[in-house]
Amino acid sequence: MRNLLNETHDSALRSWVASMQAPAADFPIQNLPFGVFRRRGSDEAFRGGVAIGDQVLDLAAVIAAGAFGDEVLSVACAAASETLNPLMALQPGDWSALAHGALR
């Protein structure tokens, strides 16, 4: 089996999100789970995000800000959808590239 670990799994990585640095953090920089969310109490549409510490990175907002490069933009758009189905239809290497792009 091919090892898919890359530099995003480096135990020395640190983040600007303080809650990621806690020893018992569920979502440290090495474990960035994708999910769908909407703001509590709103009836806005669900959209894709990434849990980072006790925060959620809104992928649609990051895309709108132009923060993703061309190499991961299509993957980020898939992950920003109202379900994770478009993202899950991609390859694990795409997911890894998006996580790496989110760290930049």
Residues with Cβ < 8 Å from 96, sequence gap 6 or more?
4, 6, 8
Predicted TM-score (pTM) above 0.85: no
Distance CA 55, CA 11 (A): 20
Task: Dump pLDDT digits (tens) for 44-103.
Answer: 999 999 887 778 889 999 999 999 888 899 999 999 999 999 999 999 888 888 877 765
Whole-number pLDDT of residue 8: 64
Cα 53 to Cα 34, 83, 88, 97, distances in angstroms: 13, 21, 22, 20
Whole-number pLDDT of residue 1: 43
DSSP code at position 45: P
Check pLDDT > 70 for residue 3.
Answer: no
Task: Dump pLDDT digits (tens) for 22-45.
Answer: 777 776 666 778 999 999 999 999
Task: Work out the angle between the directed axes of helices 92-103 and 70-79 (0-180°, nearest 10).
Answer: 110
